[in-house]
């Protein structure tokens, strides 16, 4: 017999990339994590950045998109609409 389950809440940290905050996002991604683990590599023209994610792939993050650090310390990129659908701000 199948049962119904709900996912446990998962708390993450996130920053939205803008054309102005690349240095802040870069510092945040590198906090306490060895650079080879995953990192923003370089800013590109137009304010986008390249992010090396947990599986070693590199994804481009455009201004307005979000970078999320999960409980395992790995980073992922989300478009603004998907981020808004999947996450809500946790009250302090």
- Tens of pLDDT, residue by residue over 11-23, are 899 999 998 888 8
In a domain, 73, yes or no: yes
In a domain, 92, yes or no: no
Q: What is the CA radius of gyration of the chain?
A: 15
pLDDT in tens, 23-78: 898 888 888 666 566 566 666 666 788 888 767 788 889 999 999 988 888 888 99
- Domain count of the fold of the chain: 1
Structural domain including 60 reads 13-86
User: What pLDDT is stored for residue 38 in this prediction?
Assistant: 56
In a domain, 42, yes or no: yes
In a domain, 72, yes or no: yes
In a domain, 39, yes or no: yes
Q: Which long-range contacts (CB under 8 A, 24 or more apart) does 45-49 make?
A: 46/19, 47/17, 47/18, 47/19, 47/20, 47/22, 48/17, 49/17, 49/22, 49/25
Confidence bin at 83 (pLDDT 50/70/90): very high
In a domain, 4, yes or no: no
């Amino acid at each position: 017999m199948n049962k119904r389950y709900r996912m446990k809440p998962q708390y993450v940290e996130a920053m939205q990339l803008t054309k102005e905050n690349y240095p802040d996002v870069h510092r945040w991604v590198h906090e306490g994590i060895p650079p080879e683990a995953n990192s923003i590599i370089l800013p590109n023209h137009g304010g986008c950045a390249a992010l090396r994610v947990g599986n070693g792939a590199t994804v481009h993050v455009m201004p307005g998109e979000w970078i999320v650090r999960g409980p395992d310390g790995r980073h992922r990129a989300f478009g603004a609409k998907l981020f808004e659908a999947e996450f809500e701000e946790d009250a302090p």
